[in-house]
Amino acid sequence: MNRKFWLFILILITFFIAQSCLRKVDEETSLVDLELIKICKWKDNASTCVMFTFDDSNKSSINISKVLEKYNFKSTFFVIASDLYTKDLKEMIANGHEIGNHTYSHINLKTADSSKVDFEIRMGKETIENALKIKCVSFAEPGGQKTPMSTRAVFRYHLFDRNYSEFQGAKRNFISYSDFTNVEPLMKSLRNAINEGSILVIEGHGMDGDGYMPMSKVFFIQTLDSLKKYTNNEQVWLTTVKEGSQYENLYHEISLEKKQLNNTLTFTFKGYNKEKYKDLLVSPISIEIPNILSEKLSCLTDSIQITKLTDKFVFTLDLKRNTNIVMKIN
Ligand SMILES: [Zn+2]
């Protein structure tokens, strides 16, 4: 009887201690609503990612790149590896543009046999890498012609394909300079991509009489002026295929673990595949924190890029350098 009584008292005490601990955790959690902190789909929480791409090894590519640089825009130039303007391409790389593979000799990947397809894709990449001393990670099919076999070969040698996302349901929209003669169709495609939060690929070839269905420089500048208005509003992230596609991949591959201990918050990015992205120099990812929360937090981790938007802060880190952000709750 005596033992049963003390056992009962012990259970009662344990119950009350557990209750008060749970209440304490609850109070701490309510300091910051962790649900409001999310991984951004695009850099600096942009609504869409726009990629300029220009195909074939056109002599005018260097002039196109110089026009883009006046706007601070970067582009991906998909070159035919058997026909490289090496000096021009090295200058374009130095100015931030990307050089991608467009096969070794611009063959139709739909009609070629599997060994030819493999050779054209692999030799294109190797030739570009040897001539330009870069890692070539992006690919675009000549004429958009492909088969499941050629797509497998593309991803065997490259991280990204301009025409396809690695992830089902991740939509890409396309518009080509050969398809429009005033800026309105381009703006319509852009508004559509903003609404969908998807990628818009703007395709071209050469300029001013050079290459397949070339655009005029005057019209090219008109389109860039219109796009610049949108980029100024922080809604559009204009970048290269490799940067935009890596962001898209990481958004699907990475999960965010949020832990709160006393007044310290730790965000851990899980699922980064170091080996997969070994050929890229950086692997940036961002989280958004609404103003209402950011006022309570101070970042304790170095080398985080912080961008202030009207209603939120965006914290960007390079997953190659670190996979945690630690914050103090003030
Ligand atoms: Zn082509």
DSSP string, 59-102: TTHHHHHHHHHHTT--EEEEE-TTS--HHHHHHHHHTT-EEEE-
- Is the same domain home to 191 and 218? yes
100 bridge partner residues: 78
Residue ending a domain, choose from 216, 246, 276:
246
CATH number at residue 178: 3.20.20.370
- Quickly list H helices, the chain: 2-29, 61-70, 86-94, 114-132, 148-157, 183-196, 217-232, 241-253, 291-294
Mean pLDDT of 108-128: 98
pLDDT, one tens digit per residue, over 87-96 is: 999 999 999 9
Distance 199 CA to ligand 1 centre (A): 21
- Is the same domain home to 206 and 299? no
- Residue 25 predicted with pLDDT over 50: no
pLDDT, one tens digit per residue, over 159-174 is: 999 999 988 888 899 9
How many angstroms from the chain centroid is the CA of residue 128? 23
- Is the same domain home to 180 and 301? no
Distance 173 CA to ligand 1 centre (A): 18
The domain in which residue 258 lies consists of 254-329
Distance 103 CA to ligand 1 centre (A): 9
How far is the CA of 129 from the CAs of 15, 62, 134, 203, in angstroms?
Answer: 67, 19, 5, 23
Mean pLDDT of 258-274: 94
Q: Is residue 20 part of a domain?
A: no
- How does residue 274 score in pLDDT terms, banded at 50, 70 and 90? very high
d(CA 231, CA 123): 37
Distance 143 CA to ligand 1 centre (A): 6
Residue 26: the pLDDT is 47
- Is the same domain home to 74 and 153? yes
- Is the same domain home to 279 and 174? no
- Is the same domain home to 280 and 155? no
- Is the same domain home to 263 and 312? yes
- Is the same domain home to 270 and 133? no
Residue 18: the pLDDT is 66
Q: Is residue 15 part of a domain?
A: no
**Complete edge-to-edge strand list for the sheet that includes strand 38-39:** 38-39, 284-290, 312-318, 305-308
Distance 276 CA to ligand 1 centre (A): 27
- Is the same domain home to 215 and 238? yes
Distance 140 CA to ligand 1 centre (A): 8
- Residue 276 predicted with pLDDT over 70: yes
Ion ligand 1, residue ranges at CB < 5 A: 55-56, 142
d(CA 145, CA 189): 23
Q: Is residue 9 part of a domain?
A: no
Counting the structural domains of the chain, the total is 2
